[in-house]
Amino acid sequence: MWQDWLWTMLGLLGTLLFVTLNALVFAVVYVKVMGNSFGKASFKPTKSNNDNVKFADVLGVDEAKREAEEVVDFLRKAADLHAIGAKAPKGVLLVGPPGTGKTLLAKAIANEAGVPFFSISGADFNEVFVGVGASRLRKLYAEARKHKTAIVFIDEIDALGRSRVNNQFGGQEHNNTLNAFLVELDGFGRDGCTVITIGATNFEESLDAAMLRPGRFDRKVYVGLPSLEGRMAILEHYLKRLKKVGTLDTRQLAAATPMMSGAELATLVNEASIMAVRANRQIVTMEDFTTAIERMGIGQVQAKTISPHEREVIAWHEAGHAVVGHFSKSAKQLHKVSIIPTGRAALGFTWSVHREDRHLASREELIAEIAVFYGGRLAEEMAFGDGAVTVGAGSDLKRATQLAEAMVWDFGYAPGFPGAYREATLSDATKRQLDEAVSLLLDEARAIARTILTTRENELARLAKALLEHETLDGAEVDALFEPNRPQAPRVEELQDHAA
């Protein structure tokens, strides 16, 4: 009898001990999280004189710098603004692609103005416990308001201010934190202080409408990708950090890096120096930069076993792209063509770059680009017959179709449909007509590619043979093979007219 009683007591004690230990663990975690949230703010104030970043260090975004200079004037002349009853903007939103220098620009504003700089990430306000994020916000702005003028910089502000409409990942904590942020932007309890909030985001469309209304974020600065001249300045800035550099044409290097951000250009310079070290050289050369660009844009060379027949197919395929691109009205210039496998899936590549920074494209240039996509498949047909073409052109055909659809549905290049119809409500008959217009554009581009390849069959075969022998050719080497001034070659305008 007493044995049963003993086992019962031991079971109760074990259950009690288990519950106690769980409660203790929960209490320790809760106190740690809540204590860290309410007792400390997860940011470190940085005085401007502790950081040497100035406007001169922010390169490639001259337009954004000019707008940022206005913010500096507001901070420097805060007393004058208050004296006449004017107000400095409460918020400045920096919008742009990743790596363009938004954080660097915010630091430069604080340093140029000579005011304290408080930096924090929007993700630091996202917590499980209700009230934690709002408490951190109040703590942050309370610290900033201890100074007469200050800047609060919130990086990735979309993590804090994403829209509350159809927000599947929000909840009560996110709403409370965002509401607390809106209150701080409204400036209650400022007591004459000038605290400007600078937010940085890559996704302006994801922000809550209440945050973007006038009176909160009054300034919106777009920090875009650098132009050709901007890329030259950025490259020259980072090249100064290298101890030994060979003869480099920074304009040529900048032209070969379109659509690269400042951060990507910094990585490019570092990658090029790594390439030089791997080659046991003490000087960084243009060849190292070319290899680094290829690795960043196309991918690293892969050790894949290619059969002799597949290697020949790839050579004709890439030669087809190169020939059509060279002899059509393409806005791009051939930089390199190779049959060496790179990246995850590419068995070869034809790399072309714009001769200059481009923001607009004409209809004939877009048609020429689609024709280039078709060049690989058509070259395979010419060399091996219709029944022997491979699946290697799958991505080319997909990109060609996407571009043709954009020309019809977005750019108004369909006969009789001079408008954008992507978001419009259309009848089935209209959709069929638009789809037919897409097919006509594809047929037109395909005809141009076929005409070029047929007329330039000698150059096509010569290039394919050279690729099989050398594997990789640059633009100058390909130009030497093409001999574009041969008398039997028709003009590009004649090819366009014939295809039409």
For 128, how many CA atoms within 13 A lie in the half-sphere containing its CB? Answer: 4
Sign of the torsion formed by the C-alpha atoms of 463, 467, 468 and 470: positive
Q: Which residues contact 376 (CB under 8 A, 6 or more apart)?
A: 317, 318, 320, 321, 350, 392, 393, 396
- Rounded to two decimals, the pTM is 0.69
Where does 287-439 show beta strands of DSSP type E?
332-338, 349-354
**Higher-pLDDT residue of 499, 233:** 233
Q: Give whole-number Cα distances, 480 to 156, 220, 422, in Å.
A: 50, 50, 44
Q: Could you tell me if 460 and 382 are in contact, meaning their C-beta atoms sit under 8 angstroms apart?
A: yes
Query: What digits encode the pLDDT tens for the residues 339-397?
Result: 888 765 578 888 887 767 777 888 999 999 999 999 999 999 999 888 878 888 888 99
Write out the E strands in 444-488.
472-474
Q: What is the mean pLDDT of the chain?
A: 79
pLDDT tens, residue by residue, 403-437: 999 999 999 888 888 888 877 788 888 889 999 99
C-alpha span between 120 and 124 (Å, rounded) = 7
Q: Rounded to 5 degrees, what angle do the CA atoms 44, 50, 51 make?
A: 95
User: Residue 201: enclosing H or E segment and its boundaries?
Assistant: strand 194-201
Residues 267-278, mean pLDDT to the nearest whole number: 88
Q: Which helix (H) or strand (E) holds 217?
A: strand 217-222
Reported as a pLDDT band with limits 50, 70 and 90, residue 73 is confident
In sequence order, which ranges of 46-131 are alpha helices (DSSP H)?
62-76, 78-84, 102-113
Q: What is the pLDDT of residues 446-462, one digit of tens each?
A: 999 999 999 999 999 99
Q: Band of the pLDDT at 489, cuts 50, 70, 90?
A: very low
pLDDT at residue 220 tops 70? yes
- What pLDDT was estimated at residue 353? 77
pLDDT confidence of residue 428: 87
- pLDDT at site 101: 87
For residue 299, pLDDT over 70 is answered with no
Q: Are 88 and 81 in contact (CB under 8 A)?
A: yes
Runs of H (alpha helix) within 158-261? 158-161, 172-186, 209-212, 228-239, 250-255
341, 358 in Cβ contact below 8 A?
no
pLDDT above 60 for 463:
yes
The catalytic site residues sit at: 318
Q: With beta carbons less than 8 A apart as the criterion, state whether 336 and 353 touch.
A: no
